[in-house]
Chain A
Amino acid sequence: MKKNLQWKVILTLAVIAGAIILAYPFNDTKIKRGLDLKGGIHLVLQVITDDSINMETDQEISRLEELLKKNAVTFQKVTKEGLGRIAVQGVLANEEGKTRDMFDQYSRDWDYSFTGDRANLTLKPLVIQFLRDQSVSQAKETIDNRINTYGVAEPLIQRQGADKIVVELPGVDDPERVKDLIKVTAVLEWKLVKAGPAADEATLLQATNGLVPDDAEVLRGDPKRGQGGFYLVNKVAVVTGKDLRTIRRTQDEWNNPAVSFTLNADGGARFEQVTGANIGKQIAIILDKKVQSAPGIEDKIMRTQGGVIRGRFTPEEADDLVLILKAGALPAGIRYLEERMIGPALGADSVRQGLIAGLVAVLAVMTFMVIFYKLSGINAVIALLLNVLILFGALAYFKATLTLPGIAGIILAIGMAVDANVLVFERIKEEAALGKGVMSSISQGFSRAFTAIFDSNLTTIISAVFLFQFGTGPIRGYAVTLTISLVANLFTAVFVSHLLFDLTVKKTAKKLSI
């Protein structure tokens, strides 16, 4: 063997070995299948980031009221003027300086200005941006927690753009349950009931002359929990989900699924004090502004005792409630922009089809090459097989997923691999027809055909790179397999195929089997 052939053989064998090691054992753990081939759920959801600004505004209002009182500043009222906008009305002219000092010291996140007896506060743009961004990352974290507790193998949860989150859950077969699990805000509150339940708002507000008192709000019962009607409850919660210490699935005295909880020291103390002072009244357990149940307070509930949430749960619903309460509440509401559910059966079907299609394509091409180009055709077949092997190795290495459009990319690459071989072989024939010897025809054929192969492959690779950069889901899957196969093609159809000729054709050969 010639010396320069030796390292070529070694390089080729090394590539083959590398690809096999990377892709072995050629199953799901190495070659990841996309949702279209495996089944699962793909969700795009948007975090309503306005919620976090609203929440900040509300908090600032109550903080301001407290501060103004504490600093003995005279004011009429503090009002919410909009998203991140507050007005303090009725500030006396001689107290403006004092108020300014107070804002400077305590409300650093807010810009303020005075017009007459009015102080206008606006949340600083940088703070707004920070809050929005934070609410999206917190939402992502919460969803992450929930999905992990629920137990899904290899979930993909990532941010997209300013306020979107993409959730991909392969293999999940109960989309509705998972969707609900992600979407609930899960703000749990205990609030004292002032009146209710009543069939409609008018009946509910009879005692208060049809008006909702300043310190109260009207909430609906959750129909899912069998709680119809309306409740008038205190605005301020006694305890909230944040005060929970432990929470677990249990059964009530009639063996129905229920959820039991205990409270931390702070919340437990408040719960003990409020229940002690309001025996005989009802306390509403509220999840996301819907009353789950409103049991009567029969006795003071001691701080370490905890309690039970009942509400005609199914076992799954009770499990899910525990799960979301453990994972924490979402900082802002979310809505779905895109929902795709692919059942496992459809995925299996697509794999079958894709596999058959791929095999048919490869076999047809190989048969044709061997019949048409005889022994040289075998070179092409080996090059093609090697190309597919390298593709799988690279897919495993880059942890890329194989999708249906990805299979389309492979088919284009197979077509171009065949073309590369055909270009070389036809060129060899042309050179031979000009009367050149076998060895010289081969080397001339390869070098002359190379520019065409190189340019066409590189042009397509360039387009694939752009598609990957700017495209979405399926288009990216297509670009990945195409790029890999074409790069491999330059190696197999040119380098390896040439090497095979050099190794198999005798220098003294008079005729080439082509």
Chain B
Amino acid sequence: MQLFKTPNIKFLKYKYIALAVTGVIVLAGILNITVFKGLKLGVDFGEGTLLRVMMRAPSSEGQLRDLLGSVGLGKSQVQRTGTTGREFQIRAIETVNVKAGEQDQLEAHAALADKIISALRGDDGKADLARGLVDLNSVDERTLAGLLETAFPGSGPEATQKVIAYRTDTGVIADFQDLAGLGLKPEALAFLKDKTFLGKLTVMSRETVGPQVGADLRRKAVQATIWALIGMLIYIALRFKLEYGVAAIFTLAQDVLITMSLYSFTNREINLPIIAGILTIVGFSINDTIVIFDRVRENQKTMRGKPLEEVMNISLNQCLARTIITSGTVFLTVSALYGFGGEVINDFAFLMLIGTIEGVYSTVYLSCPVVLFWQKLFKPKNARRR
């Protein structure tokens, strides 16, 4: 199948307009990050505690916020995730004494998480706990196995595995009736009903990073990115020419800045997995840039005498079919992820949707112009001779 005959679009004619547009976007992003909204750092970078909980009964963000508000934790960010209306993500926000030592801070975070969990539980289960019953929605496998083994010697671990596997699969046990289909003995089910109760929620995850480790992770993430960029600069400069390496770095810097700005504008949190997302965008973008540069390198051998700008334009046109097919495929794939995947994947897919388009744009309207400008600046004679 042929997409189209090699076209002859004068891409680089519009380079000044494009540069102006890019400049404005990047500048707005930088201003937004440095002066206005700033970047919202996630738990990974040492900013408190992140809890993910699953409620037994569907609830709403408002309800949860009210529960937290009643114990003075109303400032916590509550966000509903997933489609069941039961999963929530809670980011504890509080005023921790900055003068307090590292340990006090981490412990304050941990204590706060405890407070949130107990506020969400409310009075639910307190009476049952006092009577010595066990919460089936949070008990660990070992304890439950011990409990069942004493009552039904020989079959405890097996029954426990069934219950735990069911809980792992669904996240929370909503009703004892749900356990009936698991093939438990009727007396075992009756025993569970008698000796355990179903707590209001399950804590799916709980993450606290102290300020010291947070700063460390932040530093390492930045360091790793910078080294990766330097590595690429050196390789491209060796394989092509120095200006191509410089252009690639400019392009990547733009990719990173634009994505970061996007995060700042949409109020999304920056966490370690998001760094992986940003690196993926950078990866696609550099791939695109190198494919074009490679074609320019090849064409320069056969098109001696033509100015570089024209060679670049021809190369861009020759690669256009490939560019559209590749980024189109990736775009399609990522849209599918955006639709199908859950929240974790969703965040990543959102980033990629923007990234695939931005990557192509930055190749055409930043990589190529930077090479042109560099040659104009530093090699005026050289350029004329060509």
A residues in contact (CB < 8 Å) with B: 39, 44, 173-175, 177, 316, 335-346, 348-350, 352-354, 356-357, 360-361, 364-365, 368-369, 372-374, 404-405, 408-409, 411-412, 414-416, 418-419, 422-423, 426, 429-430, 448, 451-452, 455-456, 458-460, 462-467, 469-475, 477-478, 482
Q: List 25 A-B contacts (CB under 8 A).
A: A175-B206, A335-B102, A339-B106, A350-B344, A360-B333, A361-B333, A369-B329, A409-B276, A409-B280, A411-B280, A412-B283, A416-B283, A418-B329, A451-B297, A458-B235, A459-B236, A460-B286, A462-B235, A463-B231, A463-B282, A467-B227, A471-B220, A471-B221, A472-B220, A482-B283
CB-CB contacts of B311-349 with A at 8 A, as 1s and 0s? 000000011011001100110111011001110110011
Q: Is the CB of A360 within 8 A of B336?
A: yes
**Residues of chain B contacted by A39 (CB below 8 angstroms):** 168
Task: Let me know if B52 and A346 touch, CB within 8 A.
Answer: yes
Q: Which of A345, A365, A426, A469 has the most CB of B within 10 A?
A: A345
Q: Report if A357-B337 is in contact (Cβ < 8 Å); known contacts: A174-B143, A348-B169, A408-B276.
A: yes
CB-CB nearest in chain B for A418: B329
B273 and A472: CB pair below 8 A? no
Q: Are A340 and B1 in contact (CB under 8 A)?
A: no
Please, how many angstroms separate the alpha-carbon atoms of A422 and B291 in the complex?
11
Would B103 and A423 count as touching, CB distance under 8 A? no
Stretch at the interface among B65-73, B180-188, B197-205: B197-205
**Bound-state Cα–Cα, A350 to B205, Å:** 12
Does B257 lie at the interface of the complex (its beta carbon under 8 Å from any beta carbon of A)?
A: no
CB within 8 A of A418: which of B141, B295, B326?
B326
Inter-subunit contact B207/A474 (CB<8 Å): no
Query: Do the beta carbons of B325 and A478 come within 8 Å of each other?
Result: no
Using A456-B291, A459-B235, A462-B232 as known contacts, say yes or no to A473 and B272 having CB atoms under 8 A apart.
yes
Of the four ranges (under 10, 10 to 19, 20 to 34, 35 or more), the interface on chain B belongs to 35 or more
B170 sits at the interface (CB 8 A): yes
Q: Are B336 and A361 in contact (CB under 8 A)?
A: yes
B168 and A345 within 8 A (CB): yes
**A470–B140 CA distance with the chains assembled, in angstroms:** 37
The residue in chain B whose Cβ has the minimal distance to the Cβ of A363 is: B336
- Chain A nearest CB from B99 CB (Å) reads 17
Query: Whose C-beta in chain B lies nearest to the C-beta of A450?
Result: B294
B325 contacts A372, CB within 8 Å? yes
- Let me know if B227 and A466 touch, CB within 8 A: yes
Known contacts A405-B272, A456-B291; is A339 also within 8 Å of B208 by CB?
A: yes
B223 — which chain A residues lie within 8 A by C-beta? 470
In the bound complex, residues from chain B placing their C-beta under 8 Å from that of A354 are: 345
Query: Contact between A426 and B321 (Cβ–Cβ < 8 Å)?
Result: yes
Residues of A within 8 A of B228 (CB): 462-464, 466-467, 470
Contact B106 A337 (CB under 8 A): yes
Task: Select the stretch in B10-18, B32-40, B210-218 that faces chain A.
Answer: B210-218
Chain B residues with CB under 8 A of A456: 286-287, 290-291, 294
Q: How far is the CB of B313 from chain A (nearest CB, A)?
A: 17
